[in-house]
Each structure stands twice: as structure tokens, then as C-alpha cells.
């Protein structure tokens, strides 16, 4: 007799109540800081792309890419990530987020403010790491693997601590 497979994820709800997620002053400061750094990265990338027009960046032996294209591509990806997170937090009801049930319920109980902080921290970490990549490429060096691994570790740590902190905070209320 075949054993029935248990689904890995729960099915998200298809409807939910739209809530205004509270934004305390430190979160507003974090949001503005992230946008200012992203705008500075964009300006620097455009400057660097104009200055390095027609040059190639050797990404690995036998593989090169247009330096201006790569320099412009990094901030574009950052803007897509940042705007995607911001729109998702603003438009998708908390019940529809695909999170483990306990974390989703705790997120709803805490009004989603920690979800907003988590997405802003991931956005800030992405801007800083892509800024490092942009400066490294501008200096005509190949970025190492360690900064990318640090970036991935920071994102993983942010997500893990978000889940644990939300559960602790929900139990306090």
C-alpha cells in the first residue's frame, strides 16, 4: 500500500484582510537609508558605465562581458528586488504569505511589522553587496567568492532570526 505524500508547504489562503502595517521611526529610517544607498549605487553605476564605455570585464578565463552593461545591470536588479519587496509587503495580505503556519500566525498577530523589517534588511544587505560588486568591477578587479557567501549568509540569518523573533514576540503578546 502506497504511503500518501505529505505536502511540503501548506496551501496559502486565497483571500485575506488588508492591513496597514505599522511603520515606527526606526523602520522609516531604515527604509530611507536603503533607498538613499540604492540611489547612490545607481548614480555611481551610471558614472562608472559612462567612464568605462567600450571596455570588457573578464569574469573568468575565456568569458568576458561588457563593463557598462554589467555595471548598469547590478542597480537594475537591486531596484527590482527593492520594489518587489516593498510592493509585496504593501499589497499582499499577511494571510496569503507562504510562510510556515506558526510564523504566519505570529506575523499576523504582530501586525506584520517584523516582516517589513525583515524585507528592508534583506533589501539593505543586497544594496550593500551589489555596491561592493559595482566598486570592485569599476576598479577592474574580479569580485571574490567570500563577499557573495557573506551576503547569502546574511540573508539566511535575517530570515532565520525573523522567524524566531516573530514567534517570541507573538508569545509575549
Kindly state the average pLDDT of the residues 38-56.
87
- pLDDT greater at residue 21 or residue 29: 29
pLDDT confidence band for 38 (50 / 70 / 90) = very high
From 154, 124, 117, 111, select the one nearest 21 (Cα to Cα).
111
Q: Are 101 and 9 in contact (CB under 8 A)?
A: no
Residue 54: the pLDDT is: 73
Kindly state the average pLDDT of the residues 68-73.
84
CA distances from 155 to 20, 66, 86 (A): 25, 29, 17
pLDDT confidence band for 41 (50 / 70 / 90) = very high
CA distances from 66 to 1, 23, 52, 58, 99 (A): 58, 41, 9, 9, 39
- pLDDT greater at residue 125 or residue 101: 125
* Range in 11-20, 56-65, 98-107, 109-118 with the lowest mean pLDDT: 56-65
pLDDT at 101 over 80: no
Kindly state the average pLDDT of the residues 90-119.
82
- CB neighbours of residue 93 within 10 Å: 15
Kindly state the average pLDDT of the residues 145-151.
87
Cell of 55: 571596455
* Range in 55-59, 111-115, 120-124, 144-148 with the lowest mean pLDDT: 55-59
From 133, 121, 109, select the one nearest 162 (Cα to Cα).
121
pLDDT at 32 over 90: yes
Residue 64: the pLDDT is: 63
* Phi/psi at 6 (5° precision): -85, 135
Kindly state the average pLDDT of the residues 76-81.
93
Amino acid at each position: 500500500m502506497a504511503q500518501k505524500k505529505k505536502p511540503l508547504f501548506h496551501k496559502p489562503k486565497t483571500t485575506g484582510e488588508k492591513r496597514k502595517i505599522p511603520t515606527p521611526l526606526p523602520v522609516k529610517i531604515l527604509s530611507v537609508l536603503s533607498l538613499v544607498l540604492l540611489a547612490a549605487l545607481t548614480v555611481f553605476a551610471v558614472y562608472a558605465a559612462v567612464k568605462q564605455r567600450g571596455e570588457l570585464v573578464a569574469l573568468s578565463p575565456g568569458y568576458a562581458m561588457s563593463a557598462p552593461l554589467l555595471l548598469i545591470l547590478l542597480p537594475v536588479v537591486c531596484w527590482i528586488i527593492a520594489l518587489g519587496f516593498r510592493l509585496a509587503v504593501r499589497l499582499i495580505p499577511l494571510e496569503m504569505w507562504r510562510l510556515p503556519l506558526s510564523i504566519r500566525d505570529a506575523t499576523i498577530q504582530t501586525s506584520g511589522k517584523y516582516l517589513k523589517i525583515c524585507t528592508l534588511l534583506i533589501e539593505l544587505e543586497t544594496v550593500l553587496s551589489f555596491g561592493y560588486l559595482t566598486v570592485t568591477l569599476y576598479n577592474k578587479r574580479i569580485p571574490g567568492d567570500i563577499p557573495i557567501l557573506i551576503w547569502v549568509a546574511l540573508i539566511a540569518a535575517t530570515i532565520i532570526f525573523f522567524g524566531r523573533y516573530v514567534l517570541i514576540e507573538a508569545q509575549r503578546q
